[in-house]
Structure 1
Amino acid sequence: MAAAPYAHGTSASETFKKFFEASLTEQNQLLQELISATTDSTPSESTLRQLLDRVIKHYEDYYRYKSRWAKRDVMAMMTPAWRSSLEDAFLWIGGWRPSMAFHLLYSKAGLQLEAGLDELLRGLSTGDLGDLSPAQLRRVDRLQRETIRKERDLTETLAAQQETVADTSMVELSHAVTELIRNGETTQTHGGWDESAVDGLVESTLRPKEDALEEILHKADDLRLSTLKNIVEVLTPIQAVHFFIAATELHLRVHDWGKRRDLKEDRRREPRQ
């Protein structure tokens, strides 16, 4: 998936939105291939692994390009305007919560276990997530515990960084700007205040905070990607295919549902003619 170059005068948010939409299109295509792989009566392990490698590469490309855009505008990546309000409600540091991958795995495994219970009781293997072995479940449990620990550490790091919005430098700067406004040392234009005289100071104060947020976002995205890779290592190739089908379906459908809900809400708010 090629990254679109920055267009002159185009915000990082607008540019990444186009990349995000292209990513959704590619995910749809990969989903169809994943589903086809499960309908093949005898898919070879090499074929499945090649498909899984492409899926993993899709995620790697996405987070690599996201990291590039975060260097330009980390705020846009932390509060993505290209996602729906439904997705925003479940957002964790600019993306999905890594521990959610384990809930997804267990949910899909439970559904497939129920669907294939008759075969399993007859001693037959279903080959899907309903047929996870005790050894696999133990490894998944260890991964889940480790992921939750890292997730908690990052959450605490973000909380500490968020508190710096009220540190001495911010309080001092906000007071100084307020005094400038009160003393009429800035120019009032278009009903607002032109703060060009203090823009440099504002930028120098906010820059370290943005740099810290960028580092936290990068670590969160690394955890998201490593969680997927670690889960796949526990699963057989065909089980990993089923896992990615569930993950892709959930991502695409929640995005669609959220966009439709937002559109309906926007229409409801429109003044009647």
Structure 2
Amino acid sequence: MAFHLLYSMSRMQLEDQFADFILGLSSGDLGDLSPSQLNQLDKVQMRTIKEERNITEKIAKHQEMVPDSTMVGLSHAVTELMRSDGGVDEEQVELALMAKEEGLEEILHNADDLCLRTLKSILDIVTSMQAVHFLIAAAELHLRFHD
């Protein structure tokens, strides 16, 4: 989403100042991204897409592990206990879910880390003024979604 926002804002700001661009005037905003910056951003985007795919594969593998024999056995046991008005061994359920939870937690940490590294990479490539324009646009978009 960060890249779509960045490129959309760049295009919009460039279109708004096209006459100035033709005259060689600079506004310092995202419409002034240089070819070098665009190349660097493209490389970061490609790396990010690759890492996103890896995270997606990990999520898929993790989801495939959910209905393993332990979970199916617990599900069956809970169903039988509910039919006979018996209690559920919550400790056994907790232990079975703990490994699943830890795996998912690790994947979520990896995804959060990727988001932060991507944002930092973008901010390292753009100028300070361009970073301000990008962060303002991101904040505005965030607020509009919540409205």
TM-score bracket for this pair, using the shorter chain length: over 0.9
Task: Give the partner amino acid of 1:154.
Answer: I
- d(CA) in 1 for partners of 2:140 and 2:114? 21
In the alignment, which residue of structure 1 is the partner of 2:81?
A: 180
In the alignment, which residue of structure 1 is the partner of 2:136?
A: 245
Alignment partner of 1:215 out of 106, 109, 118: 106
- Map 1:105-254; keep pairs closer than 5 Å: 105-182=6-83, 184=84, 186=86, 195=87, 197-254=88-145
**How many corresponding residue pairs?**
147
- d(CA) in 1 for partners of 2:43 and 2:81? 56
| Higher RCO, Cα 8 Å, sep 6+ | 2
CA deviation after TM superposition for structure 1 residue 180, in Å: 2.2
More helix by share: 2
Task: Give the partner amino acid of 1:110.
Answer: R
- d(CA) in 1 for partners of 2:30 and 2:10? 5
Task: State percent identity of aligned pairs.
Answer: 57
Encode CA deviations 1:21-50: one digit per residue, 9 max, x unaligned. Answer: xxxxxxxxxxxxxxxxxxxxxxxxxxxxxx
Give the secondary-structure state (helix, strand or coil) at the position aligned to 1:130. Answer: helix
Output the aligned Cα RMSD.
1.1
- Map 1:28-107; keep pairs closer than 5 Å: 100-107=1-8
Encode CA deviations 1:93-120: one digit per residue, 9 max, x unaligned. Answer: xxxxxxx110110000000000110101
Task: Give the partner amino acid of 1:204.
Answer: L
**Structure 2 unaligned runs (5+)?**
none
CA deviation after TM superposition for structure 1 residue 185, in Å: 5.1
TM-score normalised to structure 1 length: 0.52
- d(CA) in 2 for partners of 1:226 and 1:131? 23
- d(CA) in 1 for partners of 2:4 and 2:47? 14
Give the secondary-structure state (helix, strand or coil) at the position aligned to 2:89. Answer: helix
Encode CA deviations 1:209-251: one digit per residue, 9 max, x unaligned. Answer: 0111111111111111111100000000000000001111101
**Structure 1 unaligned runs (5+)?**
1-99, 187-194, 257-273
